[in-house]
């Protein structure tokens, strides 16, 4: 159950970053938000 909660939180974080990026800078912001989310998730994975 903890894995499911963690996965859900990470997915929500990715969605939040992509939506905020899109709202601020359109398509480039979405790409930047996705890249930041991916880097954060990789950092969390390797920790």
Residue 47, classed as helix, strand or coil, is coil
**pLDDT score of 45:** 78
Question: In which band, very low, low, confident or very high, does the pLDDT at 18 lie, cut at 50, 70 and 90?
Answer: confident
Q: 2 in a domain, yes or no?
A: no
For the cut 80, the answer to whether the pLDDT of residue 10 exceeds it is yes
Rg over alpha carbons for the chain, rounded to the nearest Å, is: 12
Task: Locate 20 and state its tokens.
Answer: 């905020």
For the cut 80, the answer to whether the pLDDT of residue 28 exceeds it is yes
Counting every residue written for the chain, the total comes to 47
Query: Which pTM does this prediction carry?
Result: 0.72
Residue 11, classed as helix, strand or coil, is helix
Q: 32 in a domain, yes or no?
A: yes
For the cut 80, the answer to whether the pLDDT of residue 33 exceeds it is yes
CA 42/CA 21 separation, integer angstroms: 19
Q: 8 in a domain, yes or no?
A: no
pLDDT average, residue stretch 25-37: 85
What domain range includes position 36?
Answer: 13-42
Domain count, the chain: 1
């Amino acid at each position: 159950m903890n894995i499911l909660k963690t996965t859900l939180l990470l997915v929500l974080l990715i969605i939040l970053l992509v939506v905020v990026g899109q709202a601020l800078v359109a398509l480039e912001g979405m790409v930047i938000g996705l890249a930041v989310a991916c880097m954060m998730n990789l950092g969390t994975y390797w920790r």
